[in-house]
Amino acid sequence: MIKYYIKRFSTFSSFCFILRTARSEFDEKLVKESQESSQAWLDKVFEFWSERLNRNRRVLRAFYYMQMFNHQTHHRSQITSELHKMGIDYGSNDLPYNPYYEF
């Protein structure tokens, strides 16, 4: 599937630029929201319809936030798997080896 999206861009780097930009914009929204959210807001129940379970679900907003971050890990592993299959070196995704942080 990722090959389909890459083919829509003139270069792989332009594809990566679009992904990086979208990711940065979404991260900024999450940071802003987390800074403005109180513990009381996170402790409120969030209700939504689950197509998979065919019923309403009620979970704390904090739980839903944790699930959102956890699910991102799943999608990132899908992307790195596809890049690896294509022979693209995506670098290290291990925190101790991340070039942005000094330990």
Domain edges within the chain: 2-91
Residue 1: pLDDT above 60? no
What would the pLDDT profile of 43-99 be if each residue is shown by its tens digit? 999 899 999 999 999 999 988 888 888 888 888 888 888 888 988 887 777 777 766
pLDDT score for 103: 59
Look at residue 34 in the predicted model and tell me its pLDDT: 80
pLDDT band, very low/low/confident/very high, at 4 (cuts 50, 70, 90): low
Q: Are 46 and 61 in contact (CB under 8 A)?
A: yes
Residue 98 tokens, joined? 């991340």
Give the pLDDT mean for 25-40. Answer: 87
Distances (CA, A) of 1 to 5, 89, 93: 7, 18, 21
CA dist., res. 103 & res. 98, Å (int): 10
Question: What does the alpha-carbon distance between residue 20 and residue 27 come to, in Å, rounded to a whole number?
Answer: 10
